[in-house]
Amino acid sequence: MKYRIVIADDHPIFRNGIRDIINGLAWAEVVGEAGNGLDAYKTIINQIPDLAVLDLEMPMLSGLDVCKKILSEKHFTRFIILTMHKEKHFFDEAMNIGVMGYLLKDNAIDELLTAIRTVKEGKQYVSPLIESYLTVHQAVQQLPDGFKELHATLTPTEKVILKLIAQSKTSQEIADNIFISPNTVDNHRANITRKLKLEGKNSLLKFAIQYSGML
Amino acid sequence: MKYRIVIADDHPIFRNGIRDIINGLAWAEVVGEAGNGLDAYKTIINQIPDLAVLDLEMPMLSGLDVCKKILSEKHFTRFIILTMHKEKHFFDEAMNIGVMGYLLKDNAIDELLTAIRTVKEGKQYVSPLIESYLTVHQAVQQLPDGFKELHATLTPTEKVILKLIAQSKTSQEIADNIFISPNTVDNHRANITRKLKLEGKNSLLKFAIQYSGML
DNA sequence: CCCGCAATAGTGGTTAACCACTATTTGCAG
DNA sequence: CTGCAAATAGTGGTTAACCACTATTGCGGG
């Protein structure tokens, strides 16, 4: 029995490349492809492959969202995330969710094969480039000290509102957006501000804009 | 004689995909590949292909830089830019430099073939997706584009104040900082806002924080 | 000499965000 | 069932930023 793999990436050319590489192997085969997150989910549920190679950024559902959904449904499919994002928080989240591999799209083709082989043997594979990049940039990339823990204390609704604030929407606009009272939005603002230990006028807006990349 | 094409992209898998697609054609062949801008330049100079398909973002030299260099040296190679960037200014610059094709990486494979065929016939090809995207987003995505000219219209004092605003200081703090009245600071705020064609509460603060890197 | 511009300063009004409360409903864990 | 957390909604007040004016000083070019 060949090692059954599903691949998902919203760039058809990239998907093509991956498919050819995998199908060139004697011991593996591509049993499904998808161009967006939702299709990826459906394909994986249908096929229950041994491995899914997912792009991080995809329409409908992100690669990580797909991972989360599948893993929460207790299937044994393993995941390799293929991305161009070097950012620590993506990597951290992927590791937390429990992906088995994480590599950059600008890595060599050989690395993808090595990763697949490593994951097939039940081990985790992380691109050495990522590791070195993170160690070099960790000081820079870690700016909001303890932010991760603070962010974890936010409720789902609060996170949504924080994102909308980062888009520099007013309380009224946010209220219209998610169909609640502007007063409630103000309440959430106050709660978020307290949890993030901010103070002063516009402090939340400043924070949201500045760290909108990692929310 | 086959249509001779050089491809350059820093993602090996993507490059692989493109190469396979082109080599699958009877009337075209890949005569060179590069993983960064400098190699791309050297390869094109060596081969003088009919067409070069370039990624926009590459190490050493961007795809557009390569175009500029080659075109300034009066070679007849045509260029297709393949990118994930929908931003108007990239597109504008590419058109100004004189590329013959511009398409997004998330376009279908067929589109790349259509683009190559169209360019081969001497016509320009622009992805329809780009065009529709630009018409939809043109108003939103405009800011950093003509910003340079706008920034040039600011007086020295206004630039200083803009920087202080970017540091998210209040009018009072700025006033204390440069020893003028907070009213005057408010005046400058208004003038800057007008010159930058901003409007609405906190719009200046948002702008200053977001573009603080280029002030 | 006058004109325009930059910089300075002020007045008065509007508004969005913040601050500090109280209060109700819902859903989940113990 | 009970109690807590989250989400919802409201009231009342403060303040910083914005908006729209007017006004003065000083400086350089026509």
Query: How do the domains of chain A map onto residue ranges?
Result: 3-140, 147-214
> Does the nearest atom of strand D lie within 7 Å of B190's Cβ?
yes
pLDDT at B7 over 90: yes
Residue A213: pLDDT band (50, 70, 90) is low
Partner residue facing A210 (CB), from B106, B107, B209: B209
Residue A77: pLDDT band (50, 70, 90) is confident
> CA–CA separation, B111 vs B104, rounded Å?
9
| pLDDT value of residue A139 | 33
pLDDT at B210 over 60: yes
CB contact under 8 A, A202 and B17: no
> CA–CA separation, A66 vs A62, rounded Å?
6
Cβ-Cβ contacts under 8 Å, A11 against chain B: 14, 84, 105-106
pLDDT digits (tens, 9 = 90+) for B59-70: 888 888 888 888
In the 122-181 segment of chain B, residues within 7 Å (Cβ) of strand D are: 169-172
Residue A107: pLDDT band (50, 70, 90) is low
> CA–CA separation, B203 vs B201, rounded Å?
5
pLDDT at A137 over 50: no
- The residue that minimises its CA distance to C1' of D18 is B201
Stretch B65-77: mean pLDDT: 76
- For B57: left if phi > 0, alpha if psi spans -120 to 50, otherwise beta; the answer is beta
Q: Residues near A161 by Cβ (< 8 Å), separated by ≥ 6? A: A174, A178, A185, A188, A189, A192
- Residue listed under structure tokens 């594979």: A125
Q: Which CATH number fits domain B3-140: 3.40.640.10, 3.10.580.10, 3.30.9.10, 3.40.50.2300?
A: 3.40.50.2300
> CA–CA separation, A78 vs A4, rounded Å?
11
Domain A147-214 has CATH 1.10.3090.10: no
